[in-house]
Chains A and B, each alone.
Chain A
Amino acid sequence: MNYRRSYFIVTCIAFGFAFLYVPILSMVVFSFNASKLVTVWDSANSPTLKWYYLLVHNEEILDAAWISLKVAVINASGSVILGTLAGFGLARFTKFRGRFTLNAMTTAPLVMPEVITGLSLLLLFVALEQTIGWPAGRGITTMTIGHMTFSMAYVTVVVQSRLASFDSALEEAAMDLGARPLKVFFVITLPIIFPAVLSGWLLAFTLSWDDLVISSFTSGPGSSTLPMVVFSKVRLGVSPEINVLATLTISVVTLMIIGVSLWMARTSRLEKASA
């Protein structure tokens, strides 16, 4: 490729990444700061793990994290089932009744402002409770349903694009050899789309773990999630414990992303080698 490295582009990339990463790194650095003022470095007593100790003994944050974890795991598992079915349907069946609607319904949640989705879900739950008595009150169940509705849209997109890059010859061959559709799906299709399903699960987990707006609308008393607790704290300004929480989040995400991408690079090399 005859492409001259342009200084303009290199500078843009450097500044762009600095813009993306300076805030993240600043939270990591100041999580070790002893001062309660957070951003004023107390060089006499820092670095310290004081706030780490306080965070892991903070009952309010631990309780909220436990609720968030439960919602995120159920949400991710449910979204993967619904999203895989929808993505498979959209990628493999180009003509069926309701395809247009299904496509529209899986694209819209990606861009829909969360305040609208949250408000509409809450009003649905209230109306359902009035007419059929379910769900009685709001809490983990209603939050999970709300999260699944937008998470499955992301899973659908990931699965659909993975299937679009694979032609259906393998599936057709298996079908010609007499395999039943359900067997073809589990023996051929599922292994092919497994990387997409896995990243869909992780994506759905993260979306739910981070969500503030839809949780706030659909949660009930006593079911505050981690983002809801964080939001009420940071509304009052910076807090050293939140910096610690951010540092822990960033570490876990970084390790996970690197692990998954190494694993995927290996799988795609194997795929290319066997093709």
Chain B
Amino acid sequence: MALPYLWLLLFFVVPFVIVLKISFSDIDLAIPPYKPLIEWIGKNSLAIKLNFNNYAFLFTDSLYLNALLNSIKVAFISTVLCLLIGYPMAYGIARSTASTRNVLLLLVILPFWTSLLLRVYAWIGLLKANGVINNLLIWSGAIHEPLNMLYTPFAMYVGIVYSYLPFMILPLYANLEKMDWTLLEAAEDLGCRPSQAFFKITLPLSRNGMLAGSMLVFIPAVGEFVIPALLGGPNALMIGRVLWDEFFSNRAWPVASAVAILLLAILVPFMMWYQSVQARESAGAR
């Protein structure tokens, strides 16, 4: 146990300390492109220089805050869409017979094992001007000019919902599978309509599944890079993309670090929430 513990400490926790440190350094035209925080000046004096300019910069240039707010909005809407599509699917899978259930579960898991990059790429072929959807619509006579879908916010939402849907379905299914369905029968025997029984019993009991699935979609979606870069077009302002560009194109490592720290500060409460939901869920299972 000490081995994984030390590994994670060194390669997962310590790196964040370094990110925090570099977010307070000056940008330098050197390799690596930042100045040290701690310097010996003169004989016996040590100077620690904390530079808050990177953070000040994030709050003065509206690009960063807009990107952050937009990312949160996109992630939130995508989560709600995943929940709306994923809940009936998870419910249907949980209530089907054992043999159908295994096949359906396999069908949910399969895309998850296939490369995310390639599945996002598939949507370029479907959505572009002479792509599959436009060709079908023109051929059927529904439209005459191709619709402009690729490189729009619409394409980005489709990509995110499509990629993260299995992450919503699986925890929801795991939760619904443990549900005691006789409760529903009891409610109906006592005169509850099926829809009433669903909203009064099934939905509240599946709260932890919904929360776990939503976190698994929301948290990574906020920092998503690949999907906005491939489907969103140049105007898709997402914080993961801003961080990437600051790092790779502008070589502004301290600014990229400050963006990472800001993003982390927003996401850590959600991660802790996720962990407590998971703990409750496994405690309930025993």
Chain A interface residues toward B at CB < 8 A: 1-4, 8-10, 12-13, 16-17, 19-24, 26-27, 30, 37-40, 81-83, 85-86, 88-89, 93, 96, 98, 101-117, 119-121, 123-124, 126-127, 130, 145-146, 148-149, 152, 156, 164, 206, 209-210, 212-213, 216-217, 227, 230-231, 234-235, 237-238, 242-243, 245-246, 249-250, 253-254, 256-258, 261, 265
Contact = CB atoms under 8 A, between A and B. Distances in A.
B7 A149 contact: yes
Interface stretch (B46-54, B56-64, B203-211, B239-247): B239-247
Nearest to A85: B4
Given A124-B15, A149-B8, A238-B128, A115 B225 contact: yes
The 5 A-B residue pairs whose C-beta atoms are closest, nearest first, are A113-B223, A120-B15, A12-B88, A23-B122, A89-B1
B16 A120 contact: yes
Contacts of B109: 257
Interface string B189-228: 0000010000000000000000000011001101111100
Nearest to A213: B225
Contacts of A81: 3
B118 interface: yes
B41 interface: no
Contacts of B19: 116, 119-120, 123
Interface residues of B, number: 88
Interface in B122-140: 122-126, 128, 130-132, 135
B1 A210 contact: no
A257 to B, nearest CB: 6
Contacts of B243: 115-116, 119
B257 A119 contact: yes
B9 interface: yes
Nearest to A161: B282
A27 B244 contact: no
Contacts, number: 247
Nearest to A243: B125
A217 B253 CA distance: 12
A104 B8 CA distance: 10
Contacts of B128: 39, 237-238
Contacts of B104: 13, 17
B230 A235 contact: yes
Interface string B69-81: 0000000000000
A138 B66 CA distance: 34
Contacts of A253: 110, 113-114
Given A38-B125, A116-B223, A13 B88 contact: yes
B24 interface: no
B131 A230 contact: no
Contact of A16 (B8, B89, B106, B278): B89
Contacts of A261: 102, 106
A24 B135 contact: no
A243 B121 CA distance: 9
B42 interface: no
B147 interface: no
Contacts of B194: 4
Of the listed residues A24, A96, A258, the one surrounded by the most CB atoms of chain B closer than 10 A to its CB is A24
Contacts of A227: 115, 117
A42 to B, nearest CB: 13
A230 B230 CA distance: 12
Given A85-B1, A107-B278, A115-B260, A152 B7 contact: yes
A216 B241 CA distance: 13
Of the listed residues B185, B247, B278, the one surrounded by the most CB atoms of chain A closer than 10 A to its CB is B247
B89 A26 contact: no
Nearest to A28: B122
B40 interface: no
B237 interface: no
A39 B122 contact: no
Contacts of A82: 3-4, 7
